[in-house]
Structure 1
Amino acid sequence: MHNKFLMALVFSLSLASCDSNLVFSDYEVMENASWKIDNPVEFEFSKLDSVQAHDMFINIRNDNTFQFNNLFLITELEYPNGNTLKDTLEYKMAEVSGEWLGKGLGSIKENKLWFHEKIVFKDSGVYRVSVSHAMRKNGAVDGIHILNGITDVGLEIEKSTQ
């Protein structure tokens, strides 16, 4: 038992050290692979290099119960001084043929979606990111209350290499 734990720990650490540009990574698991429209996923981070440019990604894991070929998200990036940058984003999740985009084996696919490119976090303090889905059926005014097929929502921040 002790050897299995030690091997798992070493494997996890080796994976974490593979990407030296990664400075933040966090995920929230969606209970029953269901994302409620009124349940935004929230992330907080601080203590990033205030000179280095960073790239931000929203990571979405979906399974085969996701019924759409695209995904609309409403994002908010709140700076420590209270200023907020809000945006509505659309991402392609599947080919016209129905083949899922993203990486992964089996029924779960992970999509690494651009959020912000070459952003510099000049202000010291806590930054907050909020992500909500904004999906609705064609012609419908109201959004889909429970979006099925989303298993995890994550945020990654990497040092920009460009």
Structure 2
Amino acid sequence: MKNLLRNSLFGLLIACMAVACNDKNTVYHSYQSLPDGGWGKSDTLSFQIPVTDSVPTTFRLFAEVRNRTDYPYHDLHLFISQNMLDSMVWHTDTIAITLADSSGRWTGKGWGSIYQSEIFVKSVRPLHPGNYTIKVMHGMKDKSLQGMNDVGIRVEKQHIEN
């Protein structure tokens, strides 16, 4: 009986998470895991974004990170390059994500020893359908940045209200 109740609660939790994560505005959402030995200064993460809409749509780009409690800083600087406006031209933004407040308390959503944070990067409007790329590098001084677990990119359709 105890196992049945536990399995039922676990199933309900999974179902709720699946419904919550199924956002019809999200056109792309992916994470890449980082090595346990650290994120190298020259290690570039690449995300391939397929744009299939024949009518140009404005997209909102978000960067997401998962850090462990052994991350040594309060913030994280990222260089995010994308070619979504024109597949031949790269645009790079420097983004600062606050991961902990001044007292050292993690600001992201957390469970156990991992915390997840996100930040809006920018809105872009591709000129035509195609496969685009978003590249992410860390902008910290460390040659091998410790305490980072995953880096993700989320792309959503932007709704313009009249």
Return the TM-score normalized by structure 2: 0.80
Q: Are the counterparts in 2 of residues 33 and 150 from structure 1 also a CA contact under 8 Å?
A: no
CA distance in 2 between partners of 1:69 and 1:87 (Å): 20
Q: CA deviation at 1:66?
A: 0.5
Instruction: Please list, as runs of the form range in 1=range in 2, the aligned pairs for 1:1-162 lying within 5 A after superposition.
Output: 11=15, 13-17=18-22, 19-32=23-36, 34-49=38-53, 50-79=55-84, 81-117=87-123, 119-136=124-141, 144-162=142-160
Superposition RMSD in Å = 2.2
Pick which of 54-63 and 81-90 moved more.
Answer: 81-90
Q: CA deviation at 1:25?
A: 0.5
Q: 1:152 to 1:88 in 2, by over 3 A?
A: same
After the TM superposition, which segments of 4 or more aligned residues of structure 1 sit over 6 Å from their partners?
none
Q: Paired residue for 1:140?
A: none
One-letter code of the match for 1:95?
D
CA distance in 2 between partners of 1:96 and 1:106 (Å): 21
One-letter code of the match for 1:52?
T
CA distance in 2 between partners of 1:48 and 1:58 (Å): 21
List gaps (5 residues or longer) in structure 2.
1-6
CA distance in 2 between partners of 1:78 and 1:33 (Å): 30
List gaps (5 residues or longer) in structure 1.
137-143
Q: CA deviation at 1:81?
A: 3.1
Q: Percent identity?
A: 24
Return the TM-score normalized by structure 1: 0.80
Larger Cα-atom Rg: 2
